[in-house]
Amino acid sequence: MANVIFIAPPAAGKGVQSELLQTNYKMLHVSTGDLLRQEVATETELGGQIKLLMEQGLLVSDEIVISLLTKKLKQSDLSQGYILDGFPRTIEQAQRLDQLTKEIKAEIDYVFFLSVDKDIALKRALGRVTCSNCGTIYNEYFDTFVTPGVCNKCNSILVKRNDDNEEIFSRRFDEYLTKSKPLIDYYIDKGIFHEIDSSKDIMNAFNQIKNIIDKDITHD
């Protein structure tokens, strides 16, 4: 099948697109963040080290991430392909990943960069509200409400995250684009890079991705 990496700035929709690929193609979705949290939950010696680093706000080493990723991919059924979420972030990580995927004969087929207008991404991030009862997620800028501030499904109060603001989001967005430029160039040179316009609706972006994958499947 297809092995995929997503490169995407904040609020570009990487999580949603990963879920859609997983659902439609039965692909394995591997989140390095989840792998780290799962290791912490096992309370192993390594898990303890990771927990300490996270609590101190420090980055987990490439060696640890690659080790966990290697274990996950080698123990999983990759016959339907896989999606890597959150890795790689640097050229060094990409090169280590190349070595691993070549070893397990499951090299990356597609790198999708989700491009999004900064103002739209800002509205997606800062407009997000969640139902305090059923957990349904809405956006104040894009959704219509029967009663303002109330869930359309269960009439419970909608709550908003307060850990982000326009200044913080703008800085994170710009920093991501700057830092990801070398990684983008790396995959362009390998001939597996595809830019996807994710500024429109979710299904528009997914159909762009689906068309690329399905076209190659048809030709195989």
* Residue positions annotated with a catalytic role: 14, 89, 128, 161, 172
Q: In this structure, are residues 160 and 68 in contact, taking their beta carbons and an 8 Å threshold?
A: no
Output the six-digit token pair for 146: 């029967």
Output the six-digit token pair for 217: 């499947």
- The pairing of beta strand 128-131 with beta strand 158-160: antiparallel
Sign of CA dihedral 54, 58, 63, 65: positive
Who contacts 66 (Cβ-Cβ below 8 Å, separation ≥6)? 93, 96, 97, 100
Question: Could you give the C-alpha distances from 10 to 165, 175, 213, in angstroms and in order?
Answer: 13, 10, 24
CA distance linking residue 152 with residue 89, whole number of Å: 38
Instruction: Look up residue 123 and give its amino acid.
Output: K
Exposure on the CB side of residue 39, measured as CA atoms within 13 A: 24
Q: In this structure, are residues 112 and 7 in contact, taking their beta carbons and an 8 Å threshold?
A: yes
